[in-house]
Amino acid sequence: MSDREVIKPISGLKGGLLRLAAGLDRISWAVLFVMMVMTMVDVLLRKFTNMTIIGCGEMTEMMMAIVVFCSLAQCQVQDGHIKIDLIMGRCSPKVQVLTDTLTQSLSFILFCLVAFSTFRHGIEIREWQEVSIDLAIPIYPFVFIAAFGSALLALILLTKTISCLSEVLALWTRSGLES
């Protein structure tokens, strides 16, 4: 099997993950917009008519889970998470790549654990038939969304880890040839 035959499915998988992350991010935008409009209407109703939207707080909490966990993977794709450039900018390229590889791989392991435990918690909540207080909305779908968003982030982190590892190998190969 040639290198191209191995790389083609991997790049196709990466492309699919990137499209899925972008699609979920757009869903989070729409949910955020609905959440903002609903909150604004609730505040205006309370101010001018002394009425409120029943369960607005509950719906906001559940929509917030969608917004956060559907946008995490896209944030990682765009390198939007916090990095300490002040310190790492002074290090050699080898140290930077090694640190990035370690960070990506540890984050991958962490989010695999988060996804797994969140999924298990979602199963428990579904079995308990836990619902919200005011509107009796089942909570487990939102926990499963959190698990799915965490799993997608873990997969994006895995692709970044593989990319970092290829950079490490390229740097070591180059430095080995120069010696």
> Model confidence over 75-92: pLDDT tens digits?
999 988 777 777 777 888
Report the chain's mean pLDDT, rounded to a whole number: 89
Side chain identity at 100, as an amino acid letter? D
Nearest to 110 by CA among 47, 51, 161: 161
Mean pLDDT of 16-42: 96
Domain that holds residue 22: 3-178
pLDDT digits (tens, 9 = 90+) for 106-149: 999 999 999 999 999 999 999 999 999 999 999 999 999 999 99
Single out the residue of 82, 72, 79 nearest to residue 25, CA to CA: 72
- Rg value, the chain, Cα: 22
Neighbours of 124 (CB within 10 A): 11
The span from the CA of 144 to the CA of 140, in Å, is: 6
- For the chain, what is the domain count? 1
SS3 letters for 16-62? HHHHHHHHHHHHHHHHHHHHHHHHHHHHHHHHHHCCCCCCHHHHHHH
Is pTM, for the whole model, over 0.85? yes
